[in-house]
Amino acid sequence: MAVHVIREARRCLQCKKPLCRLKGCPIQTNIPEMIRLFLSGKSDEAAAMLFANNPLSIVCSLVCDHEKQCEGNCVQGKKGSAVQISSIEHYISNAFLDKLILKREPGKGEKVAIVGSGPAGLTVAVILAQRGYDITIFERKDQIGGMLRYGIPDFRLPKTILERYQKKLRQLGIHIRPNTTVGGALRLDDFFNDGYAAIFIGSGTWRARRLGVPGESLGNVHYTIDYLQNPDAYELGDRVAVIGAGNAAMDAARTALRHGSRFVTVYSREATVAASPRELDYTLADGASVEYGMDVQKIADEGPVFIRRTFDEEGKVTSESAPVLIPADSTIIAVSQRPKDKLVSTTTGLSVNDRGLLAVDENGQTTREGIFSGGDVVTGPWNVVQAVKSAKRVADNIAAYLDRIAWQE
C-alpha cells in the first residue's frame, strides 16, 4: 500500500494552477501541498493541514466522487491515468489521525448545542470547539455519525473510523448525548433556557420519500434509509428489486448481495443512472444487474410492476410497453429522503420550504434568531464534502454571531 501511494504521489506534476484543487475539490483541499509535504517526510504536517481544512478528510478520502472531483480534473488524466489523490489522502489521514493533536483556544464561556452528529454537525462541533466554545452534541441514535454510520455501508466506510473520530471529539472537550431525540422530552427552547447561546441543526434527512404507487405498505417492501441502518434485521430472500438509481440504491443492492440475496436488480426509470460511475461499476462487479427505462406502476405481493420505456438519442421516451410483473421476494425503494418534521413542529419561528427543508439565509441562520442549520436538512440529500463545505461556512457565521452578541452585552 505505502509503495503504491508513494509512486502515485511522485506522479503529481505540482501544477501552478492545480485544477484538482481549484476546479475539482468543493472544499479546496490543497492537494499539491499535501503531496509535497508527504514526499518530503512531513506527513504529520500534511495530516494536520488536511484536518484543518476538512475535519472529515479521512471520510472524504473514501466516499467522495473522486472521478468527478479531484481526480477527474487531474492533468495526468488527460493523456493517461489521473493521480490517485484519494489513496494518498486516505493514507495520510488514516495513518496520522490517532496522533493528531487538536489545539483548543482558551474557553469563551459560551455554550453551543449541535443537533445531529452527521457530517455537518461533526464539522461545526470540531471547528467551534477548537475556537473555545463549549459544545454538546445531541444524537438521537446510540452512536455518532448520522448517515456516515447508518446510511453508508461498512464496506465503503469502516465504522472503526467513526470510533477513532469520537476520541478526537472527547479530546476537544465535546460532550455527546446519545439516544436523545430533540423535539421529544427536550426541545430547542430548553437549550436557550439552559444557557446555550446558539444552536446548530444538522439533523439530516431521515424520512424516506414515497414512490406514490400502490403497494408501498406491503410486508416485503422496504425503504433504503431503513434497510441500511440495520441490514441484519431483514430477510429479503433470493430475488431483490431495488427501485432507484442513485448511490443509495447501489449501496442497498451491494448490501443485499453481501447478506445472502442471490439475484439483485437495480431498476432505473431513465436511460442512465444517477449513481457515480465508480459506484455503478462496483455494483455490477459485485453481481447485481441494472435495468434501464423501468417506470414502476405498483408493487404486488409477487414483485414490482413496471412499464418498460425506450428512449431516443436525446433521451426522450419513444415507446412504452404494457405493464409487466417482475417477480421479486423483496422490493427496496431508493428514491431519496426528506427531513423529519419533529424539530419544526415543536419549535416556534422555524420555517421550511416547499420540500420540507429548513429555510436559512446566506449565513446559515434559520428564521429563528440564534438557530443555524446546514447540511442535508437544508440542501436535501447530497454528499459528505458538500455538507462539510456548508458547515465550515456556518461555523464561521455562528462564531461571528456569538462575538456580536457578546459585544452587545
Measure the CA–CA gap between 49 and 132, rounded to whole angstroms: 20
Domain 111-207+340-408, CATH class in plain words: alpha beta
DSSP 8-state code for residue 186: B
Per-residue confidence (pLDDT) for residue 341, from 0 to 100: 85
Per-residue confidence (pLDDT) for residue 406, from 0 to 100: 74
Domain 210-335, CATH class in plain words: alpha beta
Measure the CA–CA gap between 116 and 204, rounded to whole angstroms: 7
Architecture of domain 2-96: Orthogonal Bundle (1.10)
Measure the CA–CA gap between 47 and 45, rounded to whole angstroms: 5
Per-residue confidence (pLDDT) for residue 202, from 0 to 100: 96
Measure the CA–CA gap between 383 and 131, rounded to whole angstroms: 26
Residues written for the chain: 409
Convert 240-254 to b/e letters by CB count within 10 Å (16 or more is b): bbbbbbbbbbbbbbb
pLDDT digits (tens, 9 = 90+) for 17-36: 999 999 999 999 999 999 99
Three-state DSSP class for 305? strand
Three-state DSSP class for 373? strand
| pLDDT digit string (tens) for the chain, length 409 residues | 455 899 999 999 999 999 999 999 999 999 999 999 999 999 999 999 999 999 999 999 999 999 999 999 999 999 999 999 999 999 999 999 999 989 999 999 999 999 999 999 999 999 999 999 999 999 999 999 999 999 999 999 999 999 999 999 999 999 999 999 999 899 999 999 999 999 999 999 999 999 999 999 999 999 999 999 999 999 999 999 999 999 999 999 999 999 999 999 999 999 999 999 999 999 999 999 999 999 999 999 999 999 999 999 888 899 999 999 999 999 999 999 999 888 888 998 999 998 889 999 999 999 999 999 999 999 999 899 999 999 999 999 999 999 998 776 6
Helices 2-10 and 31-39: crossing angle in degrees, nearest 10, is 120
Per-residue confidence (pLDDT) for residue 257, from 0 to 100: 98
Give kind and range of the element (H or E) at residue 282: helix 277-285
pTM, full prediction: 0.94
C-alpha cell at 70: 479531484
pLDDT digits (tens, 9 = 90+) for 104-125: 999 999 999 999 999 999 999 9
Three-state DSSP class for 77? helix
Write the CB contacts of 22 (distance below 8 Å, at least 6 apart in sequence): 28
Cite the residue boundaries of each domain of the chain with CATH code 3.50.50.60: 111-207+340-408, 210-335
Instruction: Report yes or no: 269 and 287 within 8 Å, Cβ to Cβ.
Output: no
Cite the residue boundaries of each domain of the chain with CATH code 1.10.1060.10: 2-96
